[in-house]
Amino acid sequence: MKRITLITLLLLFNFSFSQKKELRKAQKFYDAGDVSGASQLLEENQSLFENADQKVKPGYDFLTGKIAQNNKEFQRAYDLFTSLKDVASIKEEVMEQLNLLSADIVNSAIDDNGGGDFKSSTEKLYLAYLIDPELNKDYLYFAASSAVNAEMYDVALEYYDQLKEMAYTGVVTKYYVTEVESGVETEVTESEYDLYKKSKSYENVREEDTPSKFPEIVKNIALIHAQRGDNEKAMIAVQEARLSNPTDLNLILTEANIYIQLDEKAKFQSLMNEAIAQDPDNANLYYNLAVVTADLGEKEAARAYYEKAIEKDPNYENAYLNLVALILEGEQTIVEQMNSLGTSAADNAKYDALKLDREEIYKECVPILKSLIEIGENEDAIKTLMNIYGTLGDNEGYKEMKTLLEK
């Protein structure tokens, strides 16, 4: 029995010795830059390391992780390094390697983002965040942004909710000094700033905090909810966001769009006026305000908004068409009055007066339609103007429009 035990111990010793020997050989390949050779050696001896003892296994896993990192198998490298964080003998090396892994992952994510692979960029940035959630919160923010670009809205919402929960701001203090001789202001590091502010060669030393990203995060939460059609959650989020950023144009428009979906046009109208105050040269804002104002029955105000949209963008075809349609709405009341008249002399006189009023409406539309046709020969404009010329008895105008229509 003792002989059997001795043989067993010898076998275990030789087995462990072989593991260490092959691991050292693989490490030499890796250190010499032959990552492929190291990988091949470990693969060839995989059965040898499958049941490696606790003295050898951490070293094997650590080297395997470094090879995986070199091959951009980042998730595998992360899993292996994370499993080794509590191994005292290599803990310091593992933590250093995790920092290197984080940098490699982020650089790879930047490349993916530049190449338009936003899904891969999102996954990598989130993995970099997981390496050190306390220090790498910025990566979670960038992962959320990349998820939006990838149209992975559920993922983006999850990440933004995490950022909101941790009250992430992303605020960074920047340091600036101005060289006395040149008068040029330069951004410097904090340590350089502490040095330069004591020097007579520099002046106007100042610190400046970057804007908080928190309002943007809450805004994006609202936008995603709105995009998904969850108006209740979107409204809660956007109103919360506007508390800290009341003049943000995107937030104003998001809230306005929610109200229009809820058919609360008066509130939409009020918010569009707020938006115009922030961006007074935006023709789309005037156009949208005109549409809703017309729906609310405020025809003169709507007309003024359409005209303002055209003033801001003289090529805004829909604004011309809607303006003409708004003016022509006045025809309906006139036609109804004409049809209600009898055949008396007084009614005939009223009929002729109403007919003139109707023609004035048509004449009012002519220059607007002609301007629109000059922009790009809009077919709807040509048809409408042709019909107006026909009603007014303008044969030359009618023929001109008909010729344009038949091109």
Region for residue 111 given its phi and psi (left: phi exceeds 0; alpha: psi -120 to 50; beta: otherwise): alpha
DSSP code, position 213? S
- 157 is a domain residue: no
- Find the mean pLDDT for residues 12-28: 70
CA distance 362 to 234: 45
- 236 is a domain residue: no
Whole-number Cα distances in Å, 262 to 15, 38, 72, 241, 289: 74, 64, 49, 20, 16
- 3 is a domain residue: yes
Same domain, 193 and 312: no
DSSP per-residue letters across 308-371: HHHHH-TT-HHHHHHHHHHHHHHHHHHHHHHHH--SSHHHHHHHHHHHHHHHHHHHHHHHHHHH
- Per-residue pLDDT of 93-126, as tens digits, reads 999 999 999 999 999 999 999 999 999 999 999 9
- 398 is a domain residue: yes
- Per-residue pLDDT of 140-149, as tens digits, reads 999 999 999 9
The total domain count for the chain is 3
CA distance 151 to 374: 40
Question: Where a domain ends, among 33, 51, 84?
Answer: 84
Could you tell me which residues come within 8 angstroms of residue 33 by beta carbon, excluding any fewer than 6 positions away? none
Q: Are 361 and 328 in contact (CB under 8 A)?
A: yes
Same domain, 322 and 407: yes
pLDDT at 2 over 90: no
The pLDDT assigned to 119 comes to 97
- 133 is a domain residue: no
- 404 is a domain residue: yes
What token pair was written down for 316? 């805004």
pLDDT at 53 over 80: no
- Per-residue pLDDT of 153-183, as tens digits, reads 999 999 999 999 998 999 999 999 999 999 9
Which of the residue ranges 111-115, 339-343, 391-395 has the most confident prediction, judged by mean pLDDT? 111-115
Enumerate the H helices of 262-316 as residue ranges. Answer: 265-278, 283-295, 299-312
Mean pLDDT, the chain, whole residue set: 89
pLDDT at 244 over 80: no
Same domain, 286 and 406: yes
Q: Are 295 and 307 in contact (CB under 8 A)?
A: no
- 29 is a domain residue: yes
Report the range of poorest mean pLDDT among 49-63, 167-181, 204-218, 329-343. 49-63
Same domain, 75 and 188: no
Question: Where a domain ends, among 41, 58, 84?
Answer: 84
- Per-residue pLDDT of 303-313, as tens digits, reads 999 999 999 99
Query: Residue 62 — very low, low, confident or very high, per pLDDT cuts 50/70/90?
Result: very high
Report the range of poorest mean pLDDT among 81-90, 153-162, 224-233, 275-284. 224-233
Same domain, 291 and 406: yes
- Per-residue pLDDT of 265-285, as tens digits, reads 999 999 999 999 999 999 999
Greater model confidence, 396 or 17: 396
Percent over 70 (pLDDT), the chain: 96
- Name the pairing type of β-strands 185-188 and 173-179: antiparallel
Whole-number Cα distances in Å, 257 to 221, 261, 274, 301, 345: 15, 6, 13, 21, 54
Same domain, 305 and 205: no
Could you tell me which residues come within 8 angstroms of residue 148 by beta carbon, excluding any fewer than 6 positions away? 156, 220, 224
Question: Where a domain ends, among 69, 84, 99?
Answer: 84
The domain in which residue 403 lies consists of: 282-407
What's the CA dihedral at 287, 288, 292, 297 to 10 degrees?
A: -10
Same domain, 399 and 294: yes
Same domain, 287 and 406: yes
- 154 is a domain residue: no
Q: What pTM does this model have?
A: 0.65
- Find the mean pLDDT for residues 126-131: 97
Same domain, 297 and 391: yes
- Find the mean pLDDT for residues 203-211: 92
Report the range of poorest mean pLDDT among 229-238, 279-288, 308-317, 396-405. 229-238
